[in-house]
Structure 1
Amino acid sequence: MTETTQHARHVAIIMDGNGRWAKRKHLPRAMGHRKGVEAVRELVRGLKDTSIECLTIYAFSSENWNRPEDEVDDLMDLMRKFIKSDLPEFIANDVRLKIIGDWQSLAPDIVKMLEDALAKTAQGSRTLAVALNYGARGEIAQAAARAAANGEVTERSIAANLYTADLPPLDLLIRTSGEVRLSNFLLWQSAYAEMIFTEVLWPDFTLEHLQDALVQFAGRERRFGGR
């Protein structure tokens, strides 16, 4: 029997370590976030050279509002700049933007920019899903409530009402910076996903690191609870 190599279609990343990266270099925390955006940019450029159909990144959690106000403001400004500067590149690289989370409660100007970006990238062949104002527990609770409103609550009906219902099943979840936890990210979707935790801080994470993770994934045996 010939073995077939498995390829990750959907990869998610918890982008952790921006603050520690800046601290180690004696730079303001905001510089770590800016360098982190550059890391995202490089991965998006390289998606076409991978098996990945969808890359989901944890950009801003529903708990991140508890951070200092100046840091939250800087993150929001960074988001505005990223959308404005990178939209043409998304289009050129055939990348579809998808937003998951309660993003429509963000500042009105950001919502408008996101709506424009979603419309202009709708025909992309690969997807960048960005989790904004996202929390997995809230997502599951919301999906269950919607399922209940429409009939029986089952695993299938909950899954059909998740933000990710139109995406491939999650194959691989990566977290950078050495932390080993999910931090309320894609809890339902991660049930049978492979996981890789790396010591690399997010601003230093490159396409080569991603390719290495894909190789590791290809070598794993996935049994989904069976033998």
Structure 2
Amino acid sequence: MQKLFSSKRKGNESAQPAPIAPTEPESLVRHIAIIMDGNGRWATKRHLPRLAGHKAGVSALRRVVECAADENIEMLSVYAFSTENWGRPRAEVDGLMRLFWETIRSDLEKLHRDGVRLRHLGRLQDLSPDIQKAILDSVELTRNNTRISLNVCFNYGGRAELVDAIRQIIADGKDPEVINEELISSYLYTRDLPDPDLVIRTAGEMRVSNFLLWQSAYSEYYATSTLWPDFGHEDLLAALNSYRQRQRRFGRLVAS
């Protein structure tokens, strides 16, 4: 677990991003997935309603998308709303849905101009018709953009994804003898996407929280005590530096 946690900034000091270590081809990061945790705690510390923390979290996401694109990261997947989040208080769920809708409306044109390709991962059918349409329209508008891909995991759960895949495999009448890892992967929400190289979790928690369970089987994990609304460029660089100091084995031994 060495170097899992990054240093937390103190006060309002403007920390300079640490230089990224020299990279080898095997240490390049194509796809980062982020569990954006700590919005509620950020708000509570400031005696603000939880929704204020979620709004600050949206601002952090805007910042991180831009930073990741500047660092030549090809793809970000962010955990925005889980299938379990429906169990939160109704007022908070309604506020999150409204915030998601407002963010699509306010940010879509800029994201499109900036070359961001948007995708949705999750159960679309459980969302209200207006949100479904907004998601589909944003995916269609940005489908040819190439600067960076942003996969928004909204109403997403790793177990739900596997259930949906298995149901469809059965519905398609697949012979059990042909079912293998490649076939299962082809039925997931991420069927045409690379697995994440690095999974970042903010706010100091050490859980996977039902996020990309299949896809992150051999991802590197990085946890930081920084709350998501405070996460910025220097935090992203710290995560990338930690990743590039590791040796990925994928269950194999590396010859000495």
Could you state the TM-score of these two structures normalised by the residue count of structure 1?
0.95
Does 2:165 align with 1:143? yes
Which residue in 1 is equivalent to 2:144? 123
Aligned residue type for 2:216: S
Supply the distance in 2 between the matched residues of 1:104 and 1:209 (Cα, whole angstroms). Answer: 35
RMSD between aligned residues:
1.5
Assess if the C-alpha contact under 8 Å between 1:12 and 1:55 holds in 2: yes
Q: 1: CA distance between counterparts of 2:25 and 2:194?
A: 19
Q: Which has the larger radius of gyration?
A: 2
Deviation at 1:146, TM superposition (A): 2.6
- In structure 2, the gaps of 5 or more residues are 1-22
Considering fraction of residues, name the structure with more helix. Answer: 1
- 1:39–1:203 CA contact under 8 A, matched in 2: yes
In structure 2, C-alpha distance between the alignment counterparts of 1:4 and 1:130, rounded to whole Å: 27
Q: Aligned partners of 2:214, 2:138: CA distance in 1, in Å?
A: 27
Aligned mate of 1:184, from 187, 210, 219: 210
Q: Aligned residue for 1:212?
A: 238
Counterpart of 1:60 in 2: which secondary structure? Answer: strand
Unaligned 5+ runs, structure 1: none
Give the whole-Å Cα distance in 1 for the aligned partners of 2:67 and 2:76.
11
**Pairing of 1:8-87 with structure 2 (within 5 A):** 8-87=29-108
CA displacement at 1:105 relative to structure 2: 2.1
1:223 partner SS:
coil
1:68/1:222 CA distance change after superposition, 3 Å:
same
Farther off after superposition, 216-225 or 144-153: 144-153
Q: What is aligned with 1:197? A: 223
TM-score by length of 2: 0.85
- Residue by residue, what CA displacement relative to the aligned partner does 1:28-65 show, whole Å, maximum 9, x if unpaired? 11110000000001112223212311100000000100
Q: For structure 1, which segment, 174-183 or 44-53, has the greater mean C-alpha deviation from structure 2 after superposition?
A: 44-53
Contact 1:7 1:217 (8 Å CA) reproduced: no
| Aligned-residue identity in percent | 49
**Equivalent in 179, 183, 190 of residue 157 of structure 1:** 183
Aligned residue for 2:193?
167
Change in Cα spacing, 1:174 to 1:3, as seen in structure 2 (3 Å) is: closer
The residue matched to 2:248 in structure 1 has which SS? coil
- Pair 1:94 & 2:118 matched: no
Shift of 1:178: 0.6
Q: How many residues align?
A: 226
Mapped to 1, the partners of 2:27 and 2:79 lie a distance apart of 25
CA distance in 2, matches of 1:175, 1:117: 26
Q: How far apart are the structure 1 equivalents of 2:95 and 2:180?
A: 41
Greater shift in the superposed pair: 93-102 or 161-170:
161-170
Question: Matches of 1:180 and 1:89 in 2, distance apart?
Answer: 34
Query: Does 150-159 or 35-44 show the bigger shift?
Result: 150-159
Which stretch shows the higher mean deviation, 72-81 or 206-215? 206-215
